[in-house]
Amino acid sequence: MGNAEVEVAVEGVGLHTGAPSRVTLRARAGPVTLGAGRVTARIDELTVASTLRATTVEAHGGALRVGTVEHVFAALAGLGVYAGLALDVDGPEMPLLDGGAVAWCDALSRLRLATGGPRLRVAGEATVVLGRSRYEFAPRPRDRVEVEVCLELDDARVTREARWVGSAEDFRQRIAPARTFALARDVEEIAELGLARRVDPASVVVLAPDAIHHAGRPFSPDEPARHKLLDLIGDLYLHGGPPIGWVRAVRPGHSANALALREALADRILVCA
With contact defined as beta carbons under 8 Å apart, do 228 and 250 qualify?
A: no
Single-letter amino acid code for the residue at 147: V
Task: Please tell me the distance from the alpha carbon of residue 124 to that of residue 140, in angstroms, as a whole number.
Answer: 10
Please choose, from the candidates 176, 180, 186, 207, the residue with its C-alpha nearest in 3D space to the C-alpha of residue 54. Answer: 180
Distance of CA 248 to the CA centre of its chain: 16
User: Which helix or strand (DSSP H or E) is residue 42 part of?
Assistant: strand 39-42
Please choose, from the candidates 159, 209, 160, the residue with its C-alpha nearest in 3D space to the C-alpha of residue 185. Answer: 209
Please choose, from the candidates 230, 247, 232, the residue with its C-alpha nearest in 3D space to the C-alpha of residue 136. Answer: 247
Is 239 a residue of the active site?
A: no
With contact defined as beta carbons under 8 Å apart, do 64 and 40 qualify?
A: yes
SS3 content of the chain, % helix, strand, coil (to 5): 25, 35, 40
Catalytic pick among 16, 71, 227, 254: 254
Residues for the chain: how many in total? 273
Q: What residues are labeled active site? A: 254
